[in-house]
């Protein structure tokens, strides 16, 4: 196997204020191969977006305390200076967001914003950059692309804005694309269009992709692997088909049971009782134990170590058989 | 606060909405530009049922909910609540209607007063409707229990001290506090995490059973609508395109838009991913929507007749009918597929 595009080791992010400390990310370790799509799946407050932002150092430096190691294409992201970071962002790594309206600059046309990004990273003439911008709008299948170049973000529909943001993210040929719920704000018929487009672009361009979502359905359409986060930890990881067919962690099982998808109308949905823990006061043991029907005494003392029950599978639960992997 | 009794009997629909219309002027737009948010919508809600309304953003589903309570004044159209015309001399007043129909909104935080403990927010309604302070407080305690929140623990809290799911339970409790007969749930579970959404859906089902409620359930999430609704109404750009029993709509959709909406749901099966999007483009703007059938600009079957004549829905006040506003469903329309499909 080639060397991974992304290697994250024991990432911790704490947000420190005068009153309290929120433990947003607690010992997250994962890797992404070139050309692979990893979906980070989790509910609000699970640390999925914070993890993604840490990869690009987008968290406020005065509040966020980051430890651990993040390597993208061999570069130590946490050690980069300002100039290095600005080469990384939009060049090697780029990001698309949930709200294109707030991610795009409202007072510049789509074309100007893409041209600026291209010239900042690759140089060249304005005319060449504009030609490239037009190519990009066509690549993301924006109709009448030449006219759209001169549109302001507010003149585009939600789906077109999201496509414009994808075009901008792709403008400098990133090797890693970070996507933070890019289809969540879109209507159902538009969401599937953007998902299919992203899947195709990712495969054609061979980009490694980390796709953050709360939606199992979206993950089933785009992921190669899924990492499920809960209270700042990855509690289960594996190939998408295996996780959907055979979830190992009680939280993943509960999440799938409580996702409404063709359940019988005559009975209650198997909801997970309670709510996620307060990140300012995490329990000492497994963070899911207070909501878990199978929790035992072992769960309350220390967070479970990762276990590897099958090739490519990981789960942090004492119920999972503790085979030690030769392959890990 | 008098007890609300069934006036019209079981066969009388609880709510009849007839040809409701609301156009908004576009500020700073071209002269005469109007958003046709709700453009001639008719339907009935029967006693004890849940009517689901689905549609994409801008289809007018939330405006419709607000028209039903006169939170937005309709331009035209009729509302009949349990046999009584709303806002007319011989009928019931808008205030009396609001006493019988309550609403729960999507944003659980902005629907609560941030400077009021939630028990006071809940007690406010009964008090306004004539209960004494002491009675209202007792009611607030009762409904908190009913939505699964301990009154002593949660009653004194302020909204910011509650999670999203707990805030939405409070909003449901507040709606129930004046013992309404119908509750409009406008994307009431959409902002919640999946595990919490499931809890709230279970709660809504139990409350409906226990209090003999009728629901209007508005959502963009087809799976949730399928789970909770008895009948479903599909909207597109301010108009109803399809109406029918939930199983009919999901197993034999009649309108090409409903078909596309159903096919746009993720597969949940990585081995059988959706390869081609069922529709291209976004819904057009509700400002000056397409002539004739509004869906024709995205419909693969559109013909000349679709641009010229607006298709009609048909027998909308019949409880069991499954109808679609599509020329392909009308053998007399002149659409080339009209005979083939039926």
Q: Delimit the domains of chain A by residue range.
A: 100-173
Least confident of A65-69, A275-279, B261-265, B289-293: A275-279
Write the pLDDT tens digit of every residue in B108-117. 889 999 999 9
| Contact with chain A for residue B4, Cβ under 8 A | no
Query: Given this model, what pLDDT does residue A328 score?
Result: 40
DSSP three-state, residue A274 = coil
Tell me what the pLDDT averaged over chain A comes to.
Answer: 92
- Split at pLDDT 50, 70, 90, the class of B29 is confident
In tens, the pLDDT along B118-153 reads 999 999 999 998 999 999 999 999 999 999 999 999
Describe the strand order of the beta sheet including A208-213 as a list of residue ranges: A93-96, A176-180, A208-213, A37-41, A225-230, A233-239, A314-315
Give the C-alpha separation, A179 to A167, whole Å: 13
B80-114, pLDDT tens digit by residue? Answer: 999 999 988 889 999 999 999 999 998 888 999 99
Which residues does chain A have within 8 Å of residue B285's beta carbon, measured at their own beta carbons?
A: 157
> Do A255 and B281 count as a contact with CB atoms less than 8 A apart?
no
Res. B168: pLDDT tops 70 = yes
Q: Is-contact A224 A37, C-beta < 8 A?
A: yes
The CA angle B174-B112-B52, to the nearest 5 degrees, is 60
| Residue numbers in B near A276 (CB within 8 A) | 193
Which tokens in the block code for residue A154? 């507010």
The residue-averaged pLDDT of A171-189 equals 92
Angstrom distance (rounded) from CA B247 to CA B253: 9
Check residue B338 and give its pLDDT: 86
pLDDT at A322: 65
Question: What span, in angstroms and rounded, lies between the C-alpha atoms of B259 and A229?
Answer: 34
Does residue B340 carry a pLDDT above 70?
A: no
Quick check: B232 contacting A, CB < 8 Å?
Answer: no
User: Which domains does chain B carry?
Assistant: 15-268+277-341 (3.40.50.300)
Q: So what's the ipTM on this one?
A: 0.87
Cβ within 8 Å, pair A261-B57? no
Residues of A in contact with B273 (CB under 8 A): 199, 220-221
pLDDT at res. A186 = 87
Chain A residues inside the 8 Å CB shell of B202: 268-269, 271
pLDDT digits (tens, 9 = 90+) for B192-240: 888 889 999 999 999 999 999 999 999 999 999 999 999 999 999 999 9
Model pTM score: 0.91
Judging contacts by C-beta atoms under 8 Å, the chain B residues touching residue A255 are 194-195
What digits encode the pLDDT tens for the residues A203-221? Answer: 999 999 999 999 999 999 9
Question: Is A21 a residue whose pLDDT tops 60?
Answer: yes
Beta-carbon neighbour count of residue A172 at 10 Å? 18
Under the banding of pLDDT at 50, 70 and 90, the label for residue B341 is low
pLDDT tens digits, residue range A81-125?
A: 999 999 999 899 999 998 888 889 999 999 999 999 999 999 999
Query: Residue B181: pLDDT above 80?
Result: yes
**pLDDT of A42 strictly over 80:** yes
Classify residue B86 by its DSSP letter. B
Query: Of A159, A133, A158, whose CA–CA distance to A147 is shortest?
Result: A133
- The number of CA neighbours under 13 Å toward the Cβ of A224 is 16
Confidence of residue A326 (pLDDT cuts 50, 70, 90): very low
Residue B22 confidence (pLDDT): 95
Instruction: Report d(CA B124, CA B160) in Å as an integer.
Output: 19
Q: What is the pLDDT of residue B3?
A: 61
Chain B, residues 238-277, CB within 8 A of chain A, namely 246, 260-261, 264-271, 273-277
Q: Which of residues 163-202 of B touch A (CB under 8 A)?
A: 163-166, 193-199, 201-202
Q: pLDDT tens, B288-337? A: 889 999 999 999 999 999 999 999 998 888 888 999 999 999 988 889 98
Burial of B11 (0-12, 13-18, 19+ CB in 10 A): exposed
- Interface touch A220/B270, C-beta < 8 Å: yes
Q: Do the chains contact at B202 and A269, CB–CB below 8 Å?
A: yes
Query: What is the pLDDT averaged over residues A8-26?
Result: 94
Confidence class for position A327, pLDDT limits 50, 70, 90: very low
Name which of B197, B198, B268 is nearest A220 (Cβ-Cβ): B268
Q: What is the mean pLDDT of residues A162-188?
A: 93
Report chain B's mean pLDDT, rounded to a whole number: 92
């Amino acid at each position: 196997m080639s060397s991974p595009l992304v290697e994250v080791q024991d990432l911790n992010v704490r947000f420190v204020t005068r009153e309290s400390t929120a433990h947003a990310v607690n010992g997250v370790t994962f890797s992404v191969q070139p050309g692979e799509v990893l979906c980070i799946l989790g509910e609000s407050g699970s640390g999925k977006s914070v993890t993604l932002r840490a990869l690009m150092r987008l968290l406020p430096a005065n509040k966020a305390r980051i430890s651990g190691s993040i390597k993208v294409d061999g570069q130590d992201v946490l050690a980069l200076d300002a100039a290095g970071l600005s080469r990384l962002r939009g060049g090697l790594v780029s990001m698309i967001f949930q709200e294109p309206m707030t991610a795009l600059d409202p007072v510049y046309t789509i074309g100007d914003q893409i041209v600026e990004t291209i010239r900042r990273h690759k140089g060249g003439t304005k005319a060449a950059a504009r030609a490239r911008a037009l190519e990009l709008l066509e690549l993301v299948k924006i109709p009448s692309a030449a006219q759209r170049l001169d549109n302001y973000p507010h003149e585009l529909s939600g789906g077109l804005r999201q496509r414009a943001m994808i075009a901008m993210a792709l403008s400098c040929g990133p090797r890693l694309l970070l996507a933070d719920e890019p289809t969540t704000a879109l209507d159902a018929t538009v969401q599937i269009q953007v998902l299919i487009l992203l899947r195709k672009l990712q495969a054609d361009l061979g980009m490694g992709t980390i796709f953050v979502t709360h939606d199992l359905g979206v993950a089933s359409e785009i992921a190669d692997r899924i990492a499920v986060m809960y209270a700042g930890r990855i509690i289960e990881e594996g190939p998408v088909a295996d996780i959907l067919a055979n979830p190992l962690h009680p939280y993943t099982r509960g999440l799938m049971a409580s996702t409404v998808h063709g359940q019988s109308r005559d009975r209650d949905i198997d909801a997970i009782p309670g709510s996620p823990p307060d990140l300012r006061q995490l329990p000492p043991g497994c963070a899911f134990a207070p909501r878990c029907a199978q929790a035992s005494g072992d769960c309350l003392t220390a967070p479970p170590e990762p276990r590897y029950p099958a090739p490519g599978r990981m789960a942090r639960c004492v119920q999972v058989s503790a085979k030690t992997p030769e392959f890990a | 606060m008098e007890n609300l009794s069934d006036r019209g009997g079981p066969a009388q629909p609880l709510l009849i909405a007839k040809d409701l219309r609301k156009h908004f002027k576009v500020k700073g737009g071209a002269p005469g530009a109007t958003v046709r948010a709700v453009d001639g919508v008719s339907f009935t809600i029967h006693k004890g049922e849940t009517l689901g309304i689905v549609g994409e953003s801008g289809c007018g589903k939330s405006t419709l909910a607000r028209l039903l309570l006169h939170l937005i004044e309709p331009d035209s159209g009729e509302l009949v609540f349990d046999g009584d015309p709303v806002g007319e001399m011989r009928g019931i007043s808008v205030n009396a209607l609001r006493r019988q129909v309550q609403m729960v909104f999507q944003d659980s935080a902005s629907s609560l007063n941030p400077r009021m403990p939630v028990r006071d927010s809940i007690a406010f309604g009964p008090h306004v409707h004539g209960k004494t302070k002491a009675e209202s407080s007792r009611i607030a305690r009762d409904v908190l229990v009913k939505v699964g929140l301990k009154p002593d623990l949660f009653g004194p809290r302020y909204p910011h001290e509650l999670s999203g799911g707990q805030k939405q339970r409070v909003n449901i409790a507040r709606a129930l506090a004046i013992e309404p007969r119908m509750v409009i749930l406008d994307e009431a579970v959409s902002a919640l995490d999946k595990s919490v959404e499931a809890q709230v859906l279970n709660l809504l089902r139990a409350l409906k059973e226990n209090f003999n409620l009728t629901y209007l359930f508005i959502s963009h999430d087809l799976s949730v609508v399928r789970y909770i609704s008895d009948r479903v109404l599909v909207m597109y750009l301010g108009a109803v395109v399809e109406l029918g029993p939930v199983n009919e709509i999901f197993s034999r959709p009649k309108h090409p838009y409903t078909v596309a909406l159903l096919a746009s749901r993720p597969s949940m099966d990585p081995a059988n991913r959706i390869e081609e999007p069922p529709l291209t483009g976004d819904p057009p703007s509700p400002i000056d929507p397409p002539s004739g059938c509004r869906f024709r600009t995205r419909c693969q079957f559109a013909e000349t007749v679709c641009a010229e004549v607006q298709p009609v829905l048909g027998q909308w006040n019949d409880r069991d009918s499954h109808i679609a506003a599509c020329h392909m469903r009308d053998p007399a329309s002149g659409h080339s597929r009209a005979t083939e499909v039926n």
